């Protein structure tokens, strides 16, 4: 097996971040060791409210510089809504990082666990979300945002869809589909947003011609939500613009069992960031009851991205070990409260670590 030494950044974030990110770090360390890969070198960097208090900025310039010198990083959730002004009104930490590094692809799987509490059992899909433009005002302009108020009583926002960005994300979706069930669903609203999401739909269909082995269909966003609730297990890869992707991935996470199990990775051709799809959950922060699965599986996705980029068989094996250990742990009866169990964050983490080492998860907290 080929293997490399990796330097990964760690940004704990706010709320439950300092609980779930260390869980992911511990499990990655155990999986990497089990796979025979080189140990990961971790670099913890300031971000969020703690960074505001110490450095006067939620994302200090030193953090951005350091991220450019690591191979990839783990980002904990942030609670920017609770930041003091002017930080509250600024682009949030994850948006700042995504924009700085042009992390154009947000890949968000939703997979039901056997024995979990999925609304639609058998759900196993991936939402491929364009991450740099669309109808989110904080990401669709080079400087400033696409949202403004010409008078106190009028608010205006504009959405941007470009051929270049659509082609880029479409290729990601079709390449991913080739590794799965070879089906891509385009989600848009071209019956109303004819020029913008119509362009997204049409350009994606043009790209589809380069992947004749992949089946393609499309739905309006409102129809897609209905189909996800009723028939999520019939979808494979969904590709869509920024805002639609954000909404659909939260829905898909709940349909699969819990937003607490919904992972994601944000990537470009050169950089990648593991980030759970859920928020910082300040109401349960510090209580050791948060579900770390989304952060753990996001980290496994990061290993898979590194393995593909550097053709590293050992680190790909470590990703497999993480995913298998998490699934077996849940199947054997260890789960946090949101999944119908009673395990604490640390109990769940310990069980998964044990599963990576022994191949048999410790059943507890059922």
Task: Indicate which residues carry an active-site annotation.
Answer: 136, 189, 222, 246, 250
Q: How far apart are CA 186 and CA 194, in angstroms?
A: 14
Burial (CB < 10 A; 0-12, 13-18, 19+), residue 154, is exposed
| Distance in angstroms (rounded) separating the CA atoms of residues 42 and 25 | 9
Cβ neighbours around 354 below 10 Å, total: 17
Segments in the chain forming alpha helices (H)? 17-35, 49-55, 61-67, 93-101, 163-178, 196-208, 221-231, 242-256, 293-310, 313-331, 345-358
Closest residue by Cα to residue 243 from 188, 315, 305: 188
Quick check: helix, strand or coil at residue 272? strand
How far is residue 271's CA from residue 102's CA, in Å, rounded to a whole number? 9
3-state secondary structure of 248: helix
Phi, then psi, of 74 in degrees rounded to 5: -105, 130
CA distances to 144, 305, 339 from 291, in Å:
35, 23, 8
**Using CA of residue 232, residue 131, residue 75, residue 282, what is the dihedral sign?**
negative
Run of H or E residues at 74: strand 72-75
How far apart are the C-alpha atoms of 57 and 339, rounded to whole Å? 36
How far apart CA 137 and CA 221 sit, in angstroms, is 19
| Residue 118, token pair as written in the block | 């999925």
Q: What is the number of residues in the chain? A: 366
Joined together, the tokens standing for residue 19 give: 């609980």
Q: How far, CA to CA in Å, does 246 sit from each of 68, 106, 134, 294, 339? A: 26, 9, 11, 15, 22
> Helices (DSSP H) in 102-220: which residue ranges?
163-178, 196-208
């Amino acid at each position: 097996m080929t293997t490399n030494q990796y330097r990964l950044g760690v940004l704990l974030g706010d709320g439950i971040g300092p609980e779930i990110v260390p869980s992911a770090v511990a499990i990655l360390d155990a999986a990497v060791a089990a796979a025979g890969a080189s140990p990961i070198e971790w670099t913890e960097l300031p971000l969020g409210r703690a960074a505001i208090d110490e450095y006067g900025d939620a994302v200090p310039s030193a953090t951005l510089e350091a991220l450019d010198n690591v191979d990839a990083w783990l980002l904990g959730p942030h609670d920017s809504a609770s930041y003091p002004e002017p930080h509250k009104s600024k682009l949030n930490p994850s948006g700042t990082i995504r924009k700085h590094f042009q992390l154009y692809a947000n890949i968000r799987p939703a997979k039901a666990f056997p024995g979990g509490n999925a609304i639609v059992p058998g759900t196993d899909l991936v939402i491929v979300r364009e991450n740099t433009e669309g109808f989110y005002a904080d990401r669709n302009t080079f400087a400033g945002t696409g949202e403004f108020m010409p008078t106190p009583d009028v608010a205006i926002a504009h959405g941007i869809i470009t051929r270049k960005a659509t082609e880029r994300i479409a290729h990601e979706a079709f390449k991913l589909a080739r590794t799965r069930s070879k089906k891509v669903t385009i989600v848009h609203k071209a019956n109303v947003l004819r020029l913008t999401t119509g362009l997204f739909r049409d350009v994606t269909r043009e790209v589809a011609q380069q992947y004749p082995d992949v089946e393609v269909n499309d739905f309006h966003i409102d129809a897609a939500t209905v189909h996800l609730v009723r028939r999520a297990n019939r979808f494979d890869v969904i590709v869509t613009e920024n805002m639609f992707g954000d909404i659909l991935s939260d829905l898909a996470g709940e349909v699969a069992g819990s937003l607490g199990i919904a992972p994601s990775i944000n990537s470009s051709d050169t950089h990648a960031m593991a980030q759970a799809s859920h928020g910082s959950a300040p109401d349960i922060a510090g209580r050791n009851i948060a579900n770390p699965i989304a952060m753990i599986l996001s980290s496994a996705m990061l290993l898979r991205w590194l393995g593909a980029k550097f053709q590293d068989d050992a680190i790909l094996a470590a990703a497999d070990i993480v995913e298998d250990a998490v699934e077996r742990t849940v199947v054997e009866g260890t789960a946090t409260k949101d999944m119908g169990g009673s395990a604490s964050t640390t109990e769940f983490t310990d069980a998964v670590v044990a599963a990576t080492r022994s191949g048999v998860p410790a059943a507890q907290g059922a």
